[in-house]
Amino acid sequence: MSEEVKKKLEEELFLFNTGEYFDSYLTLGCNRDTYEGNSGFRFTVWAPNAISMAVVGDFSDWDLGIEMEKIGKTGCWTAFSDKAIEGQCYKYRIEQPDGTVKLKIDPYAFEFEVRPKDASIVKGLPEKKWKDGLWSANKKRFSIYERPLNIYEVHLSSWKHHDDGSWYTIPELKNELIPYVKKMGYTHIEFMPLMEHPLDASWGYQLTGYYALSSKFGTMEEFQDLVEAAHLANIGVIMDWVPGHFNRNDYGMVHFDGTPQFEYTDKNKAQNNRWGTMNFDLGKAQVQSFLTSNALYWIEQFHLDGLRVDAVSSMLYLDYDIGEWTPNEDGSNHNKAGVEFIQKLNKKVFERHPYTLMIAEESTAWSKVTKPVHMGGLGFNYKWNMGWMNDTLKFFEMDPLSRKYHFNLITFSFMYAFNENFILPFSHDEVVHGKKSLMHKMPGDRYNQFASLRTLEAYMMVHPGKKLNFMGNDYGQFLEWRIHEGLEWQSVNDEMNAKHLHFMESLNLLYKKERALWEVDHQADGIQILDADNASETLLTFIRKGKKLRDFVVVICNFVPVERKGYKVGVPYEGIYEECLNTELSEYGGVWTKNQGPLKTVKETTNQQAHTIELIVPAMSVLILRPKRIFGVPKN
């Protein structure tokens, strides 16, 4: 290694060792390089306690390999090979402090062998010329908080299967998934983790290769093309990301150099017993460089619009579901290193990409999750509303005639709806492991199940907060999600399923059209409760508001299969109103053949409003009314 190369590496690795190198994948791992006029690949790895290191692979001796040189006091090793070419396999041969010799993967590898093989693959970064500049420019025009956000959550290999049982390739998904999502009116696709992982049953949440698209899915280039195609169709792409814990298979990062390197030294902190994984030592500078660089890698190299950060709670608490735990010196259970890492991560991501979605899957009452770091927050811009999801599903799973006794499950969320910037999730977690599909959770016969499901989905759409729905929810799949099988797309041939799919498409398109449903989502000004105390009839009424006075809708939710005739609801202005949604229309699977209307106001005070509309509220339904012609309101 020349002095010039050594100096450059030492400068970059100094930053890595301080936790401040946020493009560390450009130095560590396998990267294209030229040395003494020869083209090839440089291999650089962090292994501070290794006795010796070598690169072994198809381009070298698999027993001894190419000896690696230690780079000063950086704890890193490097070697160059002009024999290495893309597509060849390699690993690191590590002599550990106790004399044990192990072969380990490259934590920074961009590609791996197709499972069950596990070697890293020689691969340089793709040099794609992106064509999604208009999409990127449009993201800067309006605040993400004042835009519609309706996410379709997808597990890539079980969305659709071929007749022979094989899953769709990424190019096939590009041609089918993106047109489907566009037609259905979703704004974003969220993929469950796509990085390299050895076990399908982990759903991708137990990772071995953080910088590699899983070999089972396809190539980096194919995924880049899929994201670009989504952007050209005006669809954003989000991916789940797992910075809290990693797979503990022996060939991976666990005890990489023979010591607790990526994981905590304290076994109580290192062992994640809930998931059978290892927890990252989030207070270690090199781990911070590794993970923050990884987040930026997926955002920058793949133009992702956001990351949903998995299991944030496990990074915030020392005692989060792990059994024995080691408290702080003052006896507290907050993981101070985890909190500081999360704040640092979000600050750096927003520094470079202020329009990115950083979404926390955080299931506790930790405060200020979506507040900026300078205000004492964690710095995310969105958080899944797990409380709303749990209460809502518990309510809907009840016998409808018992719901009036538990009406607080529906109304309680309005007490905290604006404490954070929330996304309302009906995710994969709620339709697996015996929990039943959303459709199967609904009580009653098939007709009433679909009526309840329409009411549930419409209620989510009118409640403050952005939206997320897992695949299969959109047409009312009856069986819960099974990872090794494709969705039951044949169900769409059934009339009721087909009508529910049509309903969801109509609901999604209505959501995008009505500014009142998303423009003021995170302030109390965006909603006016009309009646949240009608438990006896199990009816909830409120107004959703946009920024302009004329941008509002009146919402009536009937959570029982009892029709209410002559129902009066208060409205703010005199005029004529119309239904823009009746979930009980026959085209959606209900019994109503047409909308009610026009709905004229009368001068009568109801719900503290000066004007009143009288109408029929269908059994088990959501009605959304919008002003058609109103008086006394400025037009701007």
> Is the CB of residue 240 less than 8 Å from the CB of residue 197?
no
**β-pairing, 357-360 with 382-384?**
parallel
CA distance 473 to 453: 9
3-state secondary structure 155-176: CHHHCCECCCCCECCHHHHHHH
Work out the average pLDDT over 165-193.
96
Q: State residue 550's pLDDT score.
A: 93
User: Mean pLDDT across the stretch 294-323?
Assistant: 93
Per-residue confidence at 326, pLDDT binned at 50, 70, 90? confident
Predicted pLDDT of residue 109: 98
Average pLDDT score over residue span 505-526 = 97
Residues 31 and 90: their CA atoms lie apart, in Å, by 13
Residue intervals in the chain for CATH 3.20.20.80: 151-157+254-517
Q: Look up 310 and say whether it is catalytic.
A: yes
The answer on pLDDT for 414 being more than 80 is: yes
CA distance to 173, 181, 256, 357, 531, per residue, from 240 (Å): 18, 18, 25, 11, 38
Is it the case that residue 297 has pLDDT exceeding 80?
Answer: yes
Q: How far apart are CA 540 and CA 555, in angstroms?
A: 8
300 backbone dihedrals φ, ψ, rounded to 5°: -90, -40
Q: Which 3 state secondary structure label does DSSP give 305?
A: coil
> What mean pLDDT do residues 63-69 have?
93
Q: In which region does residue 368 sit, left (phi positive, over 0), alpha (psi from -120 to 50) or beta (all else)?
A: left
Q: How far apart are CA 204 and CA 425, in angstroms?
A: 19
Give the mean pLDDT of 229-246.
Answer: 97
Instruction: Provide the CA 499 distance to its chain's centre, in angstroms.
Output: 28
Report yes or no: 554 and 577 within 8 Å, Cβ to Cβ.
yes
Verify whether residue 266 is a known catalytic residue. Answer: no
Supply 131's token pair.
């064509």
Please name which of 468, 403, 476 lies closest in space to residue 446, comparing C-alpha atoms: 476
Confidence at residue 495, expressed as pLDDT on a 0 to 100 scale = 97
Q: Choose between 275 and 373: higher pLDDT.
A: 373
Q: What is the helix, strand, coil percentage profile of the chain, to 5?
A: 30, 25, 45
Average pLDDT, the chain: 95
Alpha-carbon dihedral sign for residues 478, 462, 584, 568: positive
pLDDT tops 80 at residue 29: yes
The model's pLDDT over 539-581, given as tens digits with 9 standing for 90+, comes to 999 999 999 999 999 999 999 999 999 999 999 999 999 999 9
Closest CA to 333 of 313, 353, 349: 313
Exactly one of 263, 305, 310, 362 is catalytic; which is it?
310
Q: State which H helix or E strand residue 152 sits in.
A: strand 150-154
Helix H segments across 302-445? 312-316, 336-352, 386-396, 408-411, 438-441
Cβ atoms of 80 and 8 closer than 8 Å: no
Nearest one of 371, 375, 376, 372 to 420, comparing CA atoms: 371
Among 335, 323, 313, 328, smallest CA distance to 383 is for 313
Q: Taking the mean position of all CA atoms in its chain, how far away is CA 72?
A: 41
pLDDT band at 620 (very low <50, low <70, confident <90, very high): very high
Q: What is the pLDDT of residue 392?
A: 98
Residue (of 624, 612, 548) closest to 584 by Cα position: 624
Task: Examine the pLDDT at 323 and tell me if it is beyond 80.
Answer: no
Average pLDDT, stretch 64-85? 96
pLDDT surpasses 80 at 9: yes
Mean pLDDT, range 40-58, rounded to an integer: 97
Residue with tokens 């070419």, as numbered in its chain: 85
Mean pLDDT of 43-54: 98
Q: How far is CA 421 from CA 145, 182, 486, in A?
A: 8, 25, 33
pLDDT of residue 3: 82
Name which of 74-83, 142-151, 318-327, 513-522 the model is least confident about. 318-327
Q: Helices 446-462 and 495-513 sit at what angle, rounded to 10 degrees?
A: 10
How far apart are alpha carbons 411 and 583 in whole angstroms? Answer: 21
What confidence category does residue 634 fall into, taking pLDDT thresholds of 50, 70 and 90?
Answer: confident
Rounded alpha-carbon distances, angstroms, from residue 390 to 16, 238, 410, 426, 455: 41, 23, 10, 10, 16
Return the CATH fold of 3-121.
Answer: Immunoglobulin-like (2.60.40)
Structure tokens at 194: 């796509």
SS3 string of 177-219? Answer: HHHHHHHHCCCEEEECCCEECCCHHHCCCCCCEEEEECCCCCC
- Least Cα distance to 81 among 46, 108, 54, 49 occurs for 54
Which two three-digit tokens encode residue 161? 């299967």
Residue 635 reports pLDDT greater than 80 = no
Q: Which CATH class is domain 524-630?
A: mainly beta
Q: Which of 106, 361, 519, 521 is catalytic?
A: 361
- CA 196 to chain centroid: 17
SS3 84: coil
The tens digit of pLDDT for each residue in 253-267 reads 999 999 999 999 998
Tell whether the model's pLDDT for residue 636 goes beyond 70: no
Beta bridge partner(s), residue 270:
none
- Percentage of the chain with pLDDT > 70? 99
291 confidence band (pLDDT: 50, 70, 90):
very high
Nearest alpha carbon to residue 520 among 229, 1, 29, 146: 146
| Residue pointed to by tokens 């208060």 | 570
Give the span between the Cα atoms of 132 and 383, in whole angstroms.
Answer: 27
- DSSP per-residue codes, 555-621: EEEE-SS--EEEEEEEESSSEEEEEEEETTBGGGTSSB-S----EE-EEEEETTEEEEEEEEE-SSE
Q: Where in the chain is the domain with CATH 2.60.40.10?
A: 3-121
Largest Cα–Cα separation, the chain: 90
Q: CATH 2.60.40.1180 occupies which residues in the chain?
A: 524-630
Cβ-based neighbour number of residue 598 at 10 Å: 12
Phi (first) and psi of residue 154, to 5 degrees = -135, 135
Residue 273 pLDDT: 84
Average confidence (pLDDT) over 103-123: 96
> What's the CATH code, domain 151-157+254-517?
3.20.20.80
pTM: predicted TM-score of the whole model, two decimal places: 0.96
Mean pLDDT value of segment 141-163: 95
Least confident of 72-86, 269-283, 336-350, 571-585: 269-283
